[in-house]
DNA sequence: GGTCCGACCTGGCAGC
DNA sequence: TGCTGCCAGGTCGGAC
């Protein structure tokens, strides 16, 4: 499930392609709203991450944006058993980029008018201070976990890292954001940055071993799953207090927590 | 305006 | 072995 660390890992794997020319784009899924001819001949001038978007800056001032959603990924090579999930191939003057999108939830779009989505602050932005997070979380009575994964408020967090950050900050994901005090918000900010930083260092989280699970642009698994405290560990002992990790459902999504040490 | 919830999508997997 | 139904979750749009 690509969240900020996985998307950042993709971007780092794609940066060597800066300067490459797009020779041809083969759109294999008609549901993707992209004309291959519109980008052929463009030069990749930069690759960056915006929240969970992978953004290619092309010559002519245009940007090509991918959102991987749940199971999408960009790869420099594609194994034979995954070719049936390739929805788009970008042929460059040095190599290819495969858009592997098994559930067809991932999207791609081209813009001539800059980045078109309204995103909240990035946790690695210099302005992401304790005060900044306080303004975000105390403005809503929604459960704090729902606030953290709302991309209009905070860009980049998803189900895995929101659960992990809340565990590290010892905060119950069901509490209303507006009910958090100054110390708790400061702890939460520190936990968010720390969890994301470590996950990037480990090239993201790969929870399973199927075509749906995350791999980087070279097909390698992430390594942060070994450091998850609660996500996907229902029934296992909390690493801090040994209480069994619980799974609850919030907004139709699984949330994992330790009810004893998250208050 | 804020909040909640269903739909989208489809491979994997458990249960029968 | 094959079928059925549930689960996964980021985003969007509609309802309240």
The DSSP-derived string for A101-149 is: -TTS--EEEEESSS------B-TTSTT--HHHHHHHHTT--SBHHHHHT
- Tell me the pLDDT tens digit for each residue of A203-245: 999 988 888 889 999 999 999 998 999 988 888 899 999 998 8
Is A123 designated active site? no
Say yes or no to pLDDT of A1 above 80: no
Cβ A177 vs Cβ A139: under 8 Å: yes
pLDDT band at A6 (very low <50, low <70, confident <90, very high): very high
Cβ A88 vs Cβ A25: under 8 Å: yes
Cβ of residue A68 lies below 7 Å from strand B = no
| Global pTM value | 0.95
Cβ of residue A244 lies below 7 Å from strand B = no
CB atoms within 10 A of CB A196: 23
Q: How far is CA A192 from CA A91, A121, A136, A145, in A?
A: 37, 13, 14, 12
Output the six-digit token pair for A31.
């549901």
pLDDT band at A125 (very low <50, low <70, confident <90, very high): very high
- In the structure, how far is the CA atom of residue A222 from the C1' atom of nucleotide B2, in angstroms? 37
Cβ of residue A104 lies below 7 Å from strand B = yes
pLDDT of res. A53: 92
pLDDT band at A83 (very low <50, low <70, confident <90, very high): confident
pLDDT of res. A242: 93
Cβ of residue A248 lies below 7 Å from strand B = no
pLDDT of res. A188: 94
pLDDT of res. A5: 93
Marked catalytic residue, from A2, A102, A123, A173: A2
pLDDT of res. A235: 84
Q: What SS3 state is found at A152?
A: coil
Is A94 designated active site? no
Which nucleotides in chain C lie less than 7 Å from some protein C-beta? Answer: 7-12
pLDDT of res. A97: 94
Q: What SS3 state is found at A242?
A: coil
Mean pLDDT, range A166-175, rounded to an integer: 92
pLDDT of res. A82: 86
Mean pLDDT, range A58-66, rounded to an integer: 93
Instruction: Name A147's Cβ contacts closer than 8 Å, sequence gap at least 6.
Output: A136, A137, A140, A153, A154, A177
In terms of phi and psi (left: phi > 0; alpha: psi -120 to 50; beta: otherwise), the region of A26 is beta
Q: Which residue places its CA closest to the C1' of nucleotide B6? A: A252
pLDDT of res. A37: 85
- Tell me the pLDDT tens digit for each residue of A13-50: 999 999 999 999 999 888 887 888 889 999 999 999 99
Enumerate domains of chain A plus CATH numbers.
4-111 (3.20.190.10), 130-257 (1.10.8.50)
Say yes or no to pLDDT of A129 above 80: yes
Q: What SS3 state is found at A6?
A: helix
pLDDT of res. A94: 94
Q: Which residue places its CA closest to the C1' of nucleotide B13? A: A210
Is A3 designated active site? yes
Mean pLDDT, range A120-141, rounded to an integer: 90
> Percent of chain A, pLDDT > 70?
100
Cβ A197 vs Cβ A165: under 8 Å: no
Marked catalytic residue, from A3, A6, A164, A184: A3
């Amino acid at each position: 499930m690509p969240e900020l660390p996985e998307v950042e890992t993709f971007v780092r794997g794609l940066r060597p392609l800066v300067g490459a020319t797009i020779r041809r784009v083969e759109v294999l899924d008609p549901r993707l709203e992209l004309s291959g001819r519109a980008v052929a001949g463009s030069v990749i001038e930069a690759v960056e991450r915006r929240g969970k978007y992978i953004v290619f800056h092309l010559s002519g001032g245009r940007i090509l944006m991918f959102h991987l959603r749940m199971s999408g990924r960009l790869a420099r090579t594609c194994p034979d058993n995954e070719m049936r999930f390739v929805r788009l191939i970008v042929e460059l003057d040095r190599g290819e980029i495969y858009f592997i999108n098994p559930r067809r939830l991932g999207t791609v779009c081209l813009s001539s008018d800059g980045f078109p989505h309204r995103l909240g602050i990035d946790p690695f932005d210099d302005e992401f201070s304790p005060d900044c997070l306080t303004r975000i979380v105390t403005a809503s009575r929604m459960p704090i976990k729902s606030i953290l994964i709302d991309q209009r408020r905070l860009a980049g967090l998803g189900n895995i890292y929101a659960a992990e950050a809340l565990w590290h900050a010892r905060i119950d994901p069901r509490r209303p954001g507006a009910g958090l005090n100054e110390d708790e918000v400061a702890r939460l900010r520190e936990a968010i940055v720390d969890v994301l930083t470590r996950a990037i260092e480990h090239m993201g989280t790969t929870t399973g071993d199927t075509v749906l699970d995350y791999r980087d642009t070279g097909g390698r698994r992430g390594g942060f799953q070994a450091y998850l405290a609660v996500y996907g560990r229902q029934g296992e002992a909390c690493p801090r207090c040994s209480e069994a990790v619980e799974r609850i459902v919030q907004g139709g999504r699984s949330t994992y927590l330790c009810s004893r040490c998250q208050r």
